[in-house]
Structure 1
Amino acid sequence: MPLVTTGDLVTDAASASRALAAFNVITLEHAEAIAAGAEQAGNAPAVLQISENAVKFHGGNVLAVTAAAAAVARASAAPLSLHLDHVVSVDLLHAAHEAGFSSAMFDASKLSYDDNVKATAEAVRWGHERGIWIEAELGKVGGKDGEAPLDAHTPGVRTDPQEAAAYVAATGVDALAVAVGSSHAMTERTAALDHALIAELRDAVPVPLVLHGSSGVPDDEIRRAVAAGMVKINVGTALNTAFTGAVRGYLEANPTTVDPRKYLVPGREAMAATVTHFLRTIG
Structure 2
Amino acid sequence: MSLTATAELVARTAGVRTAVAAFNVITLEHVEAVIAGAESVGAPVVLQVSENAVKFRQGRLLPLARAAAAAAERASVPVALHLDHVRSDDLLRQAPGAGFSSVMYDASRLSYEENLTATRAAADWAHAQGLWIEAELGEIGGKNGEPPRDAHAPGARTDPGEARAFVADSGVDALAVAIGSSHAMTTRTAVLDHDLLERLAASLDVPLVLHGSSGVPDRELRAAVEGGIAKVNIGTALNIAMTGAVREFLAAGPDAVDPRKYLGVGREAMARTVAGLIGVLRG
TM-score (normalizing by structure 1) = 0.99
Q: How far apart are residue 134 of structure 1 and its match?
A: 0.2
Gaps of 5+ in 1: none
> What secondary structure is seen at the aligned counterpart in 1 of 2:84?
strand
SS at match of 2:116: helix
Residue equivalent to 1:234:
233
Q: Distance in 2 between matches of 1:14 and 1:69?
A: 27
2:19 paired with 1:19: yes
Shift of 1:15: 4.2
Deviation at 1:278, TM superposition (A): 0.5
Give the AA of the match of 1:26: I
* Structure-2 residue corresponding to 1:252: 251
Q: Partner of 2:70 in structure 1?
A: 71
CA distance in 2, matches of 1:52, 1:152: 24
Answering whether residue 142 of structure 2 is matched by residue 139 of structure 1, we say: no
Matching of residues 1-283 of structure 1 within 5 Å: 1-41=1-41, 43-283=42-282
Query: Can you list the C-alpha shifts for 1:100-119, whole angstroms capped at 9, x where unaligned?
Result: 10000000000111110010
* Secondary structure in structure 2 of the residue aligned to 1:76: coil
Q: Counterpart of 1:83 in 2: which secondary structure?
A: strand
Deviation of 1:146 (Å): 1.1
RMSD over equivalenced CA pairs, Å? 0.7
State the alpha-carbon separation in 2 of the partners of residues 66 and 237 from structure 1: 20
Q: In structure 2, what is the Cα distance between the partners aligned to 1:245 and 1:190?
A: 19
Give the match's secondary structure for 1:14.
coil
Once the 2 structures are TM-superposed, how far is the Cα of residue 77 of structure 1 from its aligned partner? 0.3
Deviation at 1:151, TM superposition (A): 2.2
- How far apart are 1:78 and its partner, in Å? 1.0
Aligned length: 282
3-state SS of the aligned residue for 1:152? coil
Instruction: State the alpha-carbon separation in 2 of the partners of residues 150 and 59 from structure 1.
Output: 29
How far apart, CA to CA, are the structure 2 residues paired with 1:168 and 1:206? 9
Kindly provide the CA deviation profile for residues 15-49 of structure 1, in whole angstroms up to 9, marking residues without a partner as x.
433111100010000000000000111x2011000
Equivalent residue letter for 1:134: I
Cα deviations by residue, 1:213-258 (Å, 9 ceiling, x for unpaired): 0000000000000111111000000000000000000000010011
Note the residue ranges of structure 2 that are not aligned, 5 or more in a row: none
Q: Secondary structure at the match of 2:104?
A: strand
Once the two structures are overlaid, the 10-residue window that deviates more, 9-18 or 131-140, is: 9-18
Cα deviations by residue, 1:113-159 (Å, 9 ceiling, x for unpaired): 11100100011100101110000000000111111112221111000
Provide closer, same or farther for how the CA distance between residues 211 and 93 of structure 1 changes in structure 2, counting only shifts above 3 A: same
Alpha-carbon distance in structure 1 between the residues aligned to 2:143 and 2:268: 26
Question: Partner amino acid for 2:24?
Answer: N
1:85 is displaced (CA, Å) by 0.2
Instruction: Write the distance in 2 (CA, Å) between the matches of 1:236 and 1:181.
Output: 17
Partner amino acid, structure 2, of 1:10? V
Q: Secondary structure at the match of 2:191?
A: coil
Return the alpha-carbon distance in structure 2 between the equivalents of residues 10 and 3 of structure 1.
14
Identity of aligned residues (%): 61
* 1:16 aligned partner, one-letter code: V
Tell me the TM-score normalised to structure 2 length. 0.99
